Amino acid sequence: MSHGLAARARPVVGVCAVLALLVLSDGATAFAAASPSASTGSQQDIVVLNGDPSATQVQQDAEADGATPERTYSYALSGYSADLSATAKSRAEADPSVAMVVPDHSLEFTSFHRVPHPRGGGAVGNNHQPAGLPDVDYSQFIPTALERMFLQDSQLAAVNGGGPEANVGIAIIDSGITPNPDLRIAGGVDCSDDSPPDLSDPISHGTEVAGVAAAIDNSFGVVGTAPGARLYDVKIAGDDGTLDLSNALCGLDWVIAHRSEISVANMSFEDTGDVTNDNDCGLKSDDPFHMAICRAYADGITLVAGSGNDGIQITQDEVPQAYPEVITVGGYDDTDGLPGGHGSACGDGFGDADDMWATWSNWGPQVALMAVADCEQVIANDGTIEWDSGTSFAGPAVAGAAADLAAHFPYMSPAAIKAYLVLTATHQVGSDPHGYGLLDMARL
């Protein structure tokens, strides 16, 4: 079987087998992907086809091999996912139109710790804001973590309490985004396995990530590093927080289809299964995830991921963090929004001191730079401000910074954006044994 990944003209149908149109409360549109059928006891597989078949041809090829597609992919790659019987899988593997057949498998969100504070009580950080109150009840403040990275001094972000909104799109490939007046949701797709489709966020992860990247610059709540950027809710996890590779491919397929509107994609999840970065867009290792990442990258989408929270060195088996096309962001500890190491402990359960490399953050040569990842003041899915910690929130801070660059310099490539963020990061910022720089919004 051949492994071609040539540039292709893309069809206008067949994106994740779009079946339904939902309308959000603010008028934004959201497309719902087909949900897999009930399990038949057969193996869920992802089939990648050679060349550039039409959506109709994909369907016909699948049926010829005895498969009924549950999702079809037309932009990230050409192919489909399906429950394949042993006979259907053998036929697909022998089909000359098939490049690879890969078992579907589970992915997981990079874990995060909610900081335990009573509703409305306590205060952490230079801005001394309590947790647990509704977002709309706060006079706008810059979260402590983003203060430490000098968001208040950024000319591109230009935080002033009144906008304007960043003219750029950020895809949040995550657990959904629950609508909030401090978030500008422009649309999205439900690539989860839930039925009926629902773009809201049952576990609060995606909503919190979205606010770090793009909370609106207005009179209330918090503000993100790309204030008011258009948010695209790419939901890939079910109500129980579970997600599979086929979900992630559906999300990337939709993002690439909307590449004229989306400049940056944030991925606060990881695949630690039997996958290896081959530094060749998945062609050597039969990795459709890497194929999709490379397609997005080639189409000008900047991809960002948190490094993970296991305190280990990233290997070639941790993806998307190990993919060279991705900006992988490590975690830094700060509790008072100021340099100098004088802040009190965060109380997030990780136990690190102020102004130091987060010892619980994954590290390695794949990490490009750091962002503050502890005691992040975020918008939860119940509309309140909470404190959370984890590299899930370092990634979107950098995604927002990348979006600021894309908004003001639309011809910057993903490679150039990554290089600029690394070049302008601040070194010698406290205890950092790895020598990574810390995102410096004052230099953007």
The residues near 346 (Cβ < 8 Å, ≥ 6 apart) are 115, 124, 333, 335, 352, 374, 375, 387, 389
pLDDT at 340: 84
Name the residue ranges covered by the structural domains of the chain.
15-105, 109-443
Q: pLDDT digit string (tens) for 352-373?
A: 778 888 888 999 999 999 999 9
pLDDT at 94: 95
Answering whether pTM is above 0.85, one says yes
pLDDT at 173: 97
Segments of the chain scoring below 50 in pLDDT? 1-29, 31, 33-41, 116-121
Report the top-level CATH class of 15-105.
Answer: alpha beta
pLDDT at 42: 60
pLDDT at 433: 86
pLDDT at 230: 98
**CATH code of the domain made up of 109-443:** 3.40.50.200
pLDDT at 349: 54
